[in-house]
Every structure is written in C-alpha cells, then in structure tokens.
Amino acid sequence: MTVTQPSQSASSGSRFPGTLPARLADELTAAGLEPDAVLAMILGALAEDLPDGGLDATSVATIPAEQQGTAGFNAREPGVVAGLGLAEAVFAVVMGDEVRVTDRLPDGTRVAAGDRVMTVSGPVRGLLTAERTALNFASHLSGVATATSRWVEALEGTAARVLDTRKTLPGWRALQKYAVRCGGGVNHRFSLVDMAMVKDNHVVAAGGVVPALEAVRSAFPGLPVEVEVTDLDELVALLDAGCDRILLDNMDAATMTEAVRLRDERADGRRVELEASGGLTLDRAREVAATGVDYISVGALTHSVTVFDLGMDLT
C-alpha cells in the first residue's frame, strides 16, 4: 500500500457526502439512466452496510484516518464489463472529492482475466467502506452484460437478435436493461404501458387471440401490440387480422420454420416481426435463429445471471 499525506478527514467512516458529481450525473443520463434513481439505489445499498449512520467498525479500528491508498478493480475472468460508472459513483457518494478514479474502461468493453478495469485512490477507510457496494453493482451488471454477449456471439451472422424481458430484479430493471445493451442485446418493453403484450391468460380472458388483439387496439389506438401464440392456427389468424408482432411460445424449430414461411407468405408486404420465446438455451441459439425469427427473448439474461468475478485489490 502506498501511504501519503491526508487530504481531508471526511472519510473517517462516520459520514459521507451523499451526492453525485455533475460529470457522473451527465454520464448516467447519456446512458439512459436516471441519476436521482441511481443515487437513491446507492444510498439504500450503503444504508444496508451503515444503518442509522453507523461506522465501518473494522476499517475505523484497523486503519488510521489519515492513511491514503490506491486500489485496482481487476477482472478475474474474461467477459464484458458494465456498471463501472456506478461503481465510481459509489466512491464519489462515500468520499466526495477525496476520491480519484482513473483508467476506467468504458462499459461494454470486453476484458480478459487479469485486466485492470478501474483504479481508485483516496483515504483507505473510504475505499474499504465503499468496496462491497461498488463491487455489487459492477459485478452484477457485468454478469448481465457478459451473459448477453454470449448470445450475441452465438447469433453472429444471423438476422436474429437477443432480447431481454421484464423478468428483472425488483428495482433493478433500468440497470439490468442497461447492462443488456452493454452486452450487445436489445431491450424489450420496459413496462406495462409502453407496449401491450397479450399472453395466454389474456387470450383466455378475451376469448381468443384475435378478440384480444382487437380489444387492445380499441382501448389504446396506436399502442404497439404483441400477441403470444402456441400454434400455427393462432398465428395465421393474427396474420390475417394484421398483427405486426407475434411471439412464438415454446415451439420447436420445425414449427418456427413453418411460422416464418407462413409469415412471409401471408404478410402481403407488411413488416411482421416474429419473436421466439420459452425455455431457450444458448446451445440452441443458432438452431432457433436459423428458422428466420427476428428476435429471441431470454429471461435468464436478468433473472438467472451469474455475477462477474471482479475484485478490488489495494496496492
């Protein structure tokens, strides 16, 4: 550890500034994230470690307040990083202008095991207080980006693109969908209001796929609509009704291939998008893409992601 003279005593462990620098707020906005919402998440996460304004007891007891140091964020496996800006924001919230971050790689960068992805310098107590929260954000989001990138690689050379879903961690949707974009994937709808998606239970309640489609169009003219089908008869009925986006639920490759043929035959020049969904695995990616579908939706990108192995090491 490199020890230098202290700059301030604000990072003794008892309090932290709790604000985002304008530069980081602008960066989050440009990434499609809401700075105030991100700040609230960071403060909530920090409150889990420091409830009621408590101290980082271990760091306060073992590290002099004046001790300064530098730590490297290092990838311990190959993958795609995301959330490094949020990690920097955690340190800024904890230490304010006492922290200095350098060498931060852009989110979406592919890294190898051992690569340095970010360097953080400042009071050691502050570095260690913020460490786990910063790693939790960056490791989880890098895991989402890495998982997405594997699907993107598997689909390379085909016309199909990988989609995320609404199967996200409560409160983390915007961040997880951002990480999907970092990995090269495409976002599906963000909420129940920006697109109507007619699923099996809606179909039952409405009395069929076409009545459900017509009900949405009547209630919300102009709202994009996607309808789920489980067989080719439902598909044909929707094509004849002018549906522009159809989800093929749990179909095998042969049935999806036939669905694409029917779409091409009956669409009359309209752009009708087909999305494959339901139990799809990475080893089937190219088989499904070869059917000619436009999208492959994968809930596991967000609901079953394995965190990426990042570490922070003091030097």
> Contact, 163 vs 177, CB < 8 A?
no
- CA nearest 63: which of 8, 7, 121, 1? 1
Strand ranges inside the chain, DSSP E: 68-75, 79-80, 100-102, 110-111, 116-123, 161-163, 196-198, 225-229, 245-249, 273-277, 295-297, 310-314
Say which residue the tokens 């989110």 belong to. 107
Token duo for residue 208: 């069929």
Taking the C-alpha atoms of residue 210 and residue 234, their distance in angstroms, rounded to an integer, is 8
Catalytic (active site) residue 177:
no
- Residue 98 DSSP class: G
Token duo for residue 87: 């990690």
Catalytic residue among 56, 88, 228, 294: 228
Catalytic residue among 15, 23, 199, 270: 199
Q: Which alpha helices (DSSP H) does 164-245 contain, by range?
A: 173-182, 200-206, 209-219, 232-240
Taking the C-alpha atoms of residue 196 and residue 198, their distance in angstroms, rounded to an integer, is 6
Catalytic (active site) residue 199:
yes
Beta strands across the sheet bearing 225-229: 161-163, 295-297, 273-277, 245-249, 225-229, 196-198
Catalytic residue among 110, 132, 189, 286: 132
Say which residue the tokens 């309640």 belong to. 205
Catalytic (active site) residue 228:
yes
Query: Three-class SS of residue 129?
Result: helix
Catalytic residue among 110, 116, 150, 167: 167
Catalytic residue among 66, 115, 244, 249: 249
Q: How many CB atoms lie within 10 A of CB 270?
A: 11
Could you list the active site residues? Answer: 132, 167, 199, 228, 249
